[in-house]
Amino acid sequence: MENRVEIGKTGLRVTPIGFGANTIGAHNLFQNIDEEVSRETIRVALTEGADFFDSAFMYGLGRSEELIGEILAETGRRSDVVLATKAAHIVNGDQIKLDNSPAFLTEAVDIALERLQTDYIDLFYIHFPDGRTPPDEAVGALQRLKEAGKIRAIGVSNFNMEALAAANKDGYVDVVQDKYSLIYPELEADMIPYCIENEISFIPYTPLASGLLTGKFTEQNPPQDFRKERPHFQGQKYLDIITKVDSLKALTEQHQVSIANIILATTLGIDGIDVVIPGAKSPDQVRANMKTLDAKLTKEEIAQVRALFK
């Protein structure tokens, strides 16, 4: 696998295994978050060669960004990494509302710059469409921030095809982030081809399908948390998937990597996908994710793994 790739046509070059920071400092999303472990996880990610960090305001209501900024300042590594973050949410107690207005996005970028302790953000996403602001107006605001040097690339996340096409009316969208994995490949029908045609990089989130494609679950050991309510974790569908996942063990032995590494490497072999951003809440998880770089899958092997889950 190549050690560094360009994200679409952005000019941003990164190691294709990024660092998804959704658990870093994310007290609002996960229980028992230990910030010292979060700090050490970021430090280890840097040591292990991760140079693409993907955060968002909603990951700890800004705390993920603050911890990343703190460690980059501590280590002096800001210039070595590509920083991505997202905004769209206004949180007031239990109330959450979405805002894509130019005024909100302009302020959100300024606040993110402070939290990250930097004077530019490499990739800034609109995290969710608000359903009110015309998408091209929202992206136009980010284009002005790009021209001002505050951000280097423009992204949208969780936009459907209609909203994406509207957002990209002027050709300003550089990156799309959305839910995708080998077991829910629906976006291969329209969004990913659109991204390829328009030289937009597609970055999948949940490429490991919330852990279902890691090999850690079995018929006797299904997840006991919120995941057990999801369709793919129930009944015959669940049993079929874990049987297919288990069949990858021969490939893992051949390449001396984990099942998760095989899945991530396969995902990276899909046209239009330049990088993946698996999450990590501990140093060991970072090290495990980065071993994906050792999975030198052939085109034939990538095709076989993809066909397995069709």
Catalytic amino acids?
A: 59
Give a yes or no: residue 256 inside a domain: no
7, 14 Cβ separation under 8 angstroms: yes
pLDDT band at 248 (very low <50, low <70, confident <90, very high): very high
Give a yes or no: residue 239 inside a domain: no
Give a yes or no: residue 234 inside a domain: no
Q: Which of 241, 304, 298, 306 is nearest to 270 (CA)?
A: 306
Element (H, E) at 284: helix 283-290
Give a yes or no: residue 228 inside a domain: no
Average pLDDT over residues 197-204: 98
In the chain, what's the furthest Cα-to-Cα distance? 56
Q: What is the pLDDT of residues 67-120, one digit of tens each?
A: 999 999 999 999 999 999 999 999 999 999 999 999 999 999 999 999 999 999
Q: How far apart are CA 105 and CA 97, in angstroms?
A: 14
Number of DSSP helices (H) and strands (E) in the chain, helices first: 11, 11
Q: How far apart are CA 142 and CA 117, in angstroms?
A: 20
Q: What Rg value do the Cα atoms of the chain yield, rounded?
A: 19
Helix residue ranges, H only, 19-101: 35-48, 63-75
Angstrom CA distances, 208 to 39, 123, 212, stand at 24, 23, 6
Angstrom CA distances, 296 to 22, 24, 52, 181, 266, stand at 27, 29, 21, 20, 10
**Residue 205, SS3 per DSSP:** strand
Q: What is the DSSP letter of 55?
A: -
Domain that holds residue 20: 5-209+270-298
Helix, strand, coil shares of the chain, percent, nearest 5, are: 45, 15, 40
pLDDT at 230: 83
Give a yes or no: residue 238 inside a domain: no
Is residue 46 predicted with pLDDT exceeding 80?
A: yes
Structure tokens at 254: 């051949």
Q: Which of 68, 114, 59, 53 is nearest to 87 (CA)?
A: 59
CATH of the domain at 24: 3.20.20.100
Give a yes or no: residue 284 inside a domain: yes
Give a yes or no: residue 262 inside a domain: no
How do beta strands 89-92 and 95-98 pair? Answer: antiparallel
pLDDT band at 2 (very low <50, low <70, confident <90, very high): low
What domain count does the chain have? 1
Q: Which of 183, 160, 123 is nearest to 308 (CA)?
A: 183
Q: What is the pLDDT of residues 122-169, one digit of tens each?
A: 999 999 999 999 999 999 999 999 999 999 999 999 999 999 999 999
Give a yes or no: residue 216 inside a domain: no
Average pLDDT over residues 250-271: 97
Angstrom CA distances, 86 to 113, 147, 264, stand at 12, 18, 23
pLDDT at 170: 98
